[in-house]
Amino acid sequence: MEKLGDIGEHEAIRRLVAGLGSHADLAVGAGDDCAVCRLPGTGLDQVFTTDPIIENIHFQPLEKPERIGNKAAGRVLSDLAAMGARPQWLLVNVVAPPEQDFQTLEKIYAGMNALCHRFGAMIIGGDLAQGPCLELHVFGTGTLPAGSALLRSGAMPGDGIFVTGPLGCSREGKHLDFVPRVEEGIFLRESGLVNAMMDISDGLATDLPHILKRSGTGAVLDAESVPRNGTLEQALFDGEDFELLFTVPAEKQEALGKLWRKRFGTELPRIGTVAPAGEGLRLRMPDGQLLPLEKKAYEHFRQG
Amino acid sequence: MEKLGDIGEHEAIRRLVAGLGSHADLAVGAGDDCAVCRLPGTGLDQVFTTDPIIENIHFQPLEKPERIGNKAAGRVLSDLAAMGARPQWLLVNVVAPPEQDFQTLEKIYAGMNALCHRFGAMIIGGDLAQGPCLELHVFGTGTLPAGSALLRSGAMPGDGIFVTGPLGCSREGKHLDFVPRVEEGIFLRESGLVNAMMDISDGLATDLPHILKRSGTGAVLDAESVPRNGTLEQALFDGEDFELLFTVPAEKQEALGKLWRKRFGTELPRIGTVAPAGEGLRLRMPDGQLLPLEKKAYEHFRQG
């Protein structure tokens, strides 16, 4: 018998989606932040994603319920943002024990609604079922012009690597209070200057390899350039930053930087460079040394 | 403090969706089998639904995993069928403990995939998370011509009430092995002869009142006409039948019966008549007596 805990989340998902098949209207299947489907006749694609948050794993029972709601909806909105999509509809499955305080649920919904309305999205349905602990399963859709979704697979050697904000120490509060980078994601997609994009949920050192693997590239990260809260190690490994991570061809970086400053009034931090495939993921230390960056991620199920 | 178990599933959902707001492209919000949204420029509407199944509540741990998968996908396909929609995309969140046998998960997916492919639908994404017991949260979409969704709210006094098949005793196996009435739902919607429709998940006596409430009507059920496996009580209250329940104006019943026989080779059982609002839901016994039909449903959370 093979246990889920021995296989690990990513390998289990890889094996489960292997048998799903294909479809003429499915442009991008499982493996990116969202699935991308054609909406024939509209000139649009529709993107789909889903994310669970579970008591004692993604939040603590005594957490402020509006913040739990913000996180539940925010994770899904962040996945939509990672494609450059405009958020559309959300559905929510709630699992809870019979002794669940109902006012807490109402406040969780208030938190989800507030974030949805901020980005023109809306909760349109869902279900409520009995179970051993509080869980929220949020499903979301968004739209964008056909063929314009920013995928993990588009990075090219020589691209600069960028993030939309500082990384690390999210457990001090940001993992519940973050604002998903919806406006930034749409802006970056509309700029036409970005090759690949995803959002950082498991930490830079764990998530960047997803772009590298799907793009068939390596990368060098500049230790000194990574914007961070706390230490470099925290910026690389903490996770739940929900910033966007993306790559831009060298000749387009100046143009993007200008547009970004004009729109958001900040500098766009370049944190590294995409490298050819064979070179893996390395970290350039302040003394110029290149160290292989090891994966040390929080992965569901995998123990030790 | 108000506990979820004191409020009950339906009232809790009613209160939670009260604050969701409205949207120009949202034709039908929470409260029907699916939400219905406009797909501008396509002449189509898109419908959305979600359903959880949870270990020890909706299935037993030692159940054949392909059957668990059939039920997980089938409940969502049945909701889509209840609108008359053509199934499109599904996403699945799996919650499981680390000791979960992985081959069981693969077989659950095989069961979901087999049913999806049968109806032209496809699983395109989802997530996997750690939790105390096995759960499957399935989200589904479908499409139909704009404005043609069959709602719970369309029943008119005088309509005949029909079901697509026998009711009751589903716990003997049908609750896991059922085939969602996707083809029948599309056929009934395309006929243009149906006023209101839903699927039976909680039992005829519990679900018909949803149509009556949203349509502002009452009804009389003919005890002798309800097609059933087992006793009349089982047919009324067991639930998990996943047959379609629908109403048809008197002058259209002959035409529909003919079309139905031609397409499916069976008689369409008429089980009652929609009545004016004040009359409630009553059961006509074989001796002609009219008895009020009491709600005695399995409702999540509500104890006693």
- Residues of chain B found within 8 Å of residue A103, distances taken between Cβ atoms: 1-2
- Find out whether B154 and B267 touch, Cβ atoms under 8 Å: no
- pLDDT tens by residue, B9-67: 889 998 999 889 889 999 999 889 999 999 988 999 999 999 999 999 999 988 999 99
At B299 the pLDDT is: 52
User: At a CB cut-off of 8 Å and minimum separation 6, what does B181 contact?
Assistant: B78, B81, B164, B165, B199, B242, B243, B244
Closest-CA residue to B153 (of B28, B24, B18, B278): B28
- Cβ-based contacts under 8 A for chains A and B: 230
Burial of A163-193, coded b for 16+ CB within 10 Å and e otherwise, reads: bbbbbbbbeeebbbebbbbbebbbbbbebeb
CA distances from A138 to A13, A184, B3, B286, B299 (A): 18, 22, 23, 48, 23
If you average pLDDT over residues B208-219, what whole number do you get? 96
At B140 the pLDDT is: 98
At A298 the pLDDT is: 45
DSSP classification of residue A264: H
At B10 the pLDDT is: 85
At A10 the pLDDT is: 85
Closest-CA residue to B94 (of B62, B36, B135): B135
- Which residue ranges form the domains of chain B, and what is each CATH number? 4-145 (3.30.1330.10), 152-292 (3.90.650.10)
If you average pLDDT over residues B134-150, what whole number do you get? 98
B77 CA to chain A: closest CA distance, Å?
Answer: 15
pTM: 0.95
Question: Residue B36 is encoded by which pair of tokens?
Answer: 């219905």
Chunked into runs of 10 residues, chain A (304 residues) has average pLDDT values of 90 90 92 94 96 93 95 98 98 96 96 97 95 96 98 98 96 91 98 98 95 97 96 94 98 98 96 94 93 64 46
User: At a CB cut-off of 8 Å and minimum separation 6, what does B200 contact?
Assistant: B163, B167, B207, B239, B241, B242, B243, B244, B245
- pLDDT tens by residue, B214-253: 999 999 999 999 999 999 999 999 999 999 999 999 999 9
If you average pLDDT over residues B259-266, what whole number do you get? 97
- Find out whether A218 and A253 touch, Cβ atoms under 8 Å: no
- pLDDT tens by residue, B170-186: 988 889 999 999 999 99
Q: Do residue B30 and residue A130 have CB atoms under 8 angstroms apart?
A: no
User: At a CB cut-off of 8 Å and minimum separation 6, what does A67 contact?
Assistant: A59, A111, A176, A177
Testing the interface with A: which of B39, B59, B80, B128 to mutate, by most A Cβ within 10 A?
B128
At B295 the pLDDT is: 56
User: At a CB cut-off of 8 Å and minimum separation 6, what does B28 contact?
Assistant: B34, B35, B36, B149, B151
Question: Residue A55 is encoded by which pair of tokens?
Answer: 């008591």
Q: Do residue A19 and residue B113 have CB atoms under 8 angstroms apart?
A: yes
pLDDT band at B302 (very low <50, low <70, confident <90, very high): low
Q: Do residue A4 and residue B100 have CB atoms under 8 angstroms apart?
A: yes
Ramachandran class of A18: left when φ > 0, alpha when ψ lies in -120 to 50, beta otherwise: alpha
Q: Does the pLDDT value for residue B129 go beyond 50?
A: yes
Closest-CA residue to A202 (of A140, A245, A259): A245
At B146 the pLDDT is: 97
Q: Does the pLDDT value for residue B278 go beyond 90?
A: no
- Find out whether A194 and A259 touch, Cβ atoms under 8 Å: no
Question: Residue A51 is encoded by which pair of tokens?
Answer: 């994310």
Mean confidence (pLDDT) of chain B? 94
Other CB atoms within a 10 A radius of the CB of residue A33 amount to 27
At A9 the pLDDT is: 87
At A297 the pLDDT is: 44
At B293 the pLDDT is: 87
Closest-CA residue to B167 (of B223, B240, B221): B240
B151 CA to chain A: closest CA distance, Å?
Answer: 15
Q: Do residue B4 and residue A300 have CB atoms under 8 angstroms apart?
A: no
Distance CA B126, CA B93 (A): 5
Distance CA A250, CA A161 (A): 10
Testing the interface with B: which of A54, A56, A102, A302 to mutate, by most B Cβ within 10 A?
A102
Distance CA A73, CA A178 (A): 11
Distance CA B106, CA B112 (A): 10
At B298 the pLDDT is: 45
- Residues of chain A found within 8 Å of residue B49, distances taken between Cβ atoms: 91, 125
- Residues of chain B found within 8 Å of residue A300, distances taken between Cβ atoms: 128-130
Distance CA A219, CA A245 (A): 13
